[in-house]
Amino acid sequence: MSLDHRLSAEHEELRRTVEEFAHDVVAPKIGDFYERHEFPYEIVREMGRMGLFGLPFPEEYGGMGGDYLALGIALEELARVDSSVAITLEAGVSLGAMPVYSFGTEEQKREWLPRMCSGEILGAFGLTEPECGSDAGGTRTTAVREGDQWVINGTKCFITNSGTDITGLVTVTAVTGRTEDGRPLISSIIVPSGTPGFTVAEPYSKVGWNASDTRELSFADVRVPVENLLGEEGRGYAQFLRILDEGRIAISALATGLAQGCVDESLRYAKERRAFGRPIGDNQAIQFKLADMEMKAHTSRLAWRDAASRLVSGEPFKKEAALAKLYSSTVAVDNAREATQIHGGYGFMNEFPVARMWRDSKILEIGEGTSEVQRMLIAREMGLMG
């Protein structure tokens, strides 16, 4: 395959459009939402009108007919300004709508996708549990079939987009049976918001991503029709391994955006801030920091675009997705730390975007597979089973 990851004219037009939206609409407003820990409904609605939630889906389901590369481009440009808005889009598409599109029946697709693609509703993905994070196979939530219904009991935690006023559904993984040797059969089931017994907790108090929605969910004898099974019974774990592989590309694009945003803000500051009678950017120590930050963001961009290109062309991409996610999240943390250092005391003030970026960066080494999990996946793809 070609390693030329320069954008097509169509993708470049999308990039410019989202860049303009991020700077003109998101940047002036998001700081206030962030400080109030408030979900930015008006910004999300505008993203829906732009078609961002439908980027990688076919037009027949209300999508824009694009691809995963287009989604990554949008995520990177948004995250250059703010990660709360970017993760709302990432989770809404990669974790909310993509499972329905990839594994749903035709009826499920037509019922849910048009509204998710338009941003009218958000979908969420309920995998993580209080005692089951990286070990997704340790799921304790259960779903027992009683007649024509599934009865769900359990708890999920750290679920993005699960408690907003426009959340329409949460797809949850649950144990629906056991194999002959006692291993759990994990299935995926769609639970519409407002279903009796489905309780959404108050938002978490978080270090970062403060303008995004993250909640704990509980299910107490929640009953949904058997038709809400997503894909084959017992295949939920395999389904979401695939979804997480794809999602790592999206997180890598988001992390790249944050890393580049740190460069943008630090370069601007280094040209404007004066010390000892001259701009601090005249100092070689600052120049070298910025050069290293730019190098890392550039390489991160190549990594996620390579993985996305492989996905789009139907090639194997598991290792490349893990490589991209591992590298990009590390770079995001590194650049956020250096950006704060370049800004000095101002970098510790929330009025400066780098303060948000510093707070938002760390979760990128944890969510959708920790850095340790990425190293495990990479080693396995290299033939080291362990």
The residues that are catalytic are: 368
Rounded to a whole number of angstroms, the CA Rg of the chain reads 21
Question: Is the Cβ–Cβ distance between 366 and 263 less than 8 Å?
Answer: no
Rounded to whole angstroms, the Cα distance separating 160 from 87 reads: 8
User: What is the spatial distance between Cα 279 and Cα 184, in angstroms, rounded to a whole number?
Assistant: 62
- CA distances (Å), origin 103, targets 90, 100, 234, 312, 380: 18, 6, 13, 18, 26
Tokens 């789009």, residue located: 312
CB atoms within 10 A of CB 50: 18
Spatial CB neighbours of 16, under 8 Å, sequence gap ≥ 6: none
Backbone angles phi, psi at 20, to 5 degrees: -65, -45
Which H or E run includes 189?
strand 184-192
Note whether 155 and 141 are within 8 A (CB).
yes
Cα gap 259→297, rounded to integer Å: 6
Rounded CA separation 131/47 (Å): 35
